[in-house]
Amino acid sequence: MGHFNGGGGVSVSSGLRKLQHRGPDEVSEIECGHGRMGIRRLAIVDLTRGVQPVLSEDSRVMGVMNGEVYNHVELAVWLRNKGHDLRSRTDAEVLPHLYEEYGDQFVEKLRGMFALAIWDSKNERLLLARDRFGKKPLYYFQLGDGIAFASEIKALRAMVPDAEWQVREQSVYDYLSLGVVPQSEAVYEGVAQVPPGCVMVFERGQVETNSYWVPQPSKHTACLEVVREMVQESVRLRLRSDVPVGVFLSGGIDSNVVAYEASRETKREVETFTVAMSEKGLDESTIAQVAAQRYGVRNEVLHLKISPERDLMELVRHYDQPFADSSALACWALARAAAQRLKVVLTGDGGDELFGGYRRHLAAYRLGQMQGVPQWCWRGLAAIIPRRKRRSSLGFARRFARGAGATPARRYLEWSSDLLLDDEKRMIWQGGKVAATEGWIEAQVEGNTSLLRQQMQLDQRVNLLSDLLVKMDMATMAHSLETRSPLLDHELAEYAMGLTDGELLRGGVTKSVLRRAYADVLP
């Protein structure tokens, strides 16, 4: 976190106190031109010498980072061969030196999850950057010609206490449809997030934002051996740590793939954690136990004790913004339990969004094969199907029919949410003028793509970015626990994006590629 040209009323120290949970091991700050930068460190690599902020040899370039650069070992070797003096083994150490070599393009060399800031004192410019999928948050608040930035809104509010902090009505309006505040919005006026895969530069009173990752995968058929090799490498990189690394293990394919590869890659016994659910239809602990025995990992089944009153209030305090994913409570309790044993865990996040794992993905694929059916037929069918629970087959059949005759945005909401549509919100909205949420959703869809790809794009740019990754980051970092997502490696993602629709859902089966690639090991 930090500020540039923020003035005398901005206190980095106050903001850092609000982020103690993100980094209880070390706190430091440094002056940078007309501002300051600070960091709360969770020590994972080079525990004693890996201090931040990190500096170039002449101290002209300095940086701070929340997150991890997984390929830092290879980058450090390359930098030392180029003559750079790296003073520690920590991953953040490579940042100022890479910036000296590549300028703003240095982030293209990073393979990891990160929110970072670079101060270039020679050119008096501040650079903010965020990882490709937005796993790590990075909020900013413009202060006239200056800026304040932080990993969480509560730190911004503490750093700039005299700001008005007015609620942004558009964010509330969008929340009523999505259950989250969609990025890069924030719930307060004047606050936003650096977009995923982007670099934002503040220089001479000007602000410029550029994307450094626009995947353009070429279409190819799946090579199952290549998929396994790429997953294996991704897991191997994310096991780099000077502290033990565990895995969140469920009965699903994604976490099983990660747990299996982790068990093969490490000499230590891998610890895994599984949540036991009281509702039989949702409990996957038995499957997870069978898988753990097969992989040779030590699995702990957690019967979580959740206090709605106490834990819900803690969630509200940490999340800073409206957030309606009910599973956040279980994720919170799971993180609290795992943090008593470990500092780092791997998750299976991203597998559904990249490999076609949701029922609505199969629905979009099937709908694409029936595009000759007129919309009035779908609307008529939806009208005669009785209402049932959302998860039931009949309930989804009704949703399928309602979405089939709608725009991509309306279809996304029908298939993925129980919340309000724009026409429903307009009947009850008492606030000021706002834009249609469905219009914003439409803008996230790229043209000339199949219905399946449209649905997957929206799941990546709305559900994954603003719900799943936020839920996991806030819940785990609240307990000083770092989560790493091997299936969201950008090289693996680009490969998955190049797979044909038929490969992703071969035989009408979701996540067909991962299922086939790991058919010999999955329970």
User: What residue spans define the domains of the chain?
Assistant: 2-211, 224-354+469-517, 358-458
Q: Is the pLDDT of residue 280 over 70?
A: no
Lowest mean pLDDT among 131-140, 141-150, 501-510: 141-150
For residue 371, the model assigns a pLDDT of: 81
Residues in CB range of 238: below 8 A, 6 or more apart: 68, 70, 245, 346, 484, 485, 486
Nearest to 479 by CA among 152, 41, 21: 21
**Phi, psi torsion values for 61, nearest 5 degrees:** -120, 130
Per the prediction, the chain carries an average pLDDT of 92
pLDDT of residue 240: 96
% residues pLDDT > 90 (the chain): 75
- Give the Å distances, CA to CA, from 341 to 229, 245, 256, 334, 480: 30, 10, 21, 12, 11
Distance of alpha carbon 509 from alpha carbon 506, whole angstroms: 6
Higher per-residue pLDDT: 95 or 380: 95
- pLDDT score for 316: 87
Contact predicate 487/252, CB 8 Å: no
pLDDT digits (tens, 9 = 90+) for 322-379: 999 988 988 998 999 999 999 999 999 999 999 999 999 999 999 999 887 887 787 7
For residue 388, the model assigns a pLDDT of 67
Name the CATH architecture for the domain at 224-354+469-517. Answer: 3-Layer(aba) Sandwich (3.40)
Closest to 315 measured CA to CA, from 150, 135, 480, 474: 474
d(CA 214, CA 195): 12
Return the pLDDT at 9: 80
CA distance 486 to 265: 13
pLDDT exceeds cutoff 90 at 151: yes
Same fold yes or no, 2-211 and 224-354+469-517:
no
| Span 2-211 CATH architecture | 4-Layer Sandwich (3.60)
- 156-185 pLDDT, tens digit per residue, is 999 999 889 999 999 999 999 999 999 999
At 467-487, the pLDDT tens digits run 999 999 999 999 999 999 999
CA 112 to each of CA 67, 145, 238, 466: distance values in angstroms, whole numbers, following the listed order: 8, 31, 9, 19
Rg for the chain (alpha carbons), in Å? 23
Q: Measure the CA–CA gap between 145 and 398, rounded to whole angstroms.
A: 52
CA atoms within 13 A on the CB side of 176: 19
The reported pLDDT for the residue numbered 390 is 64
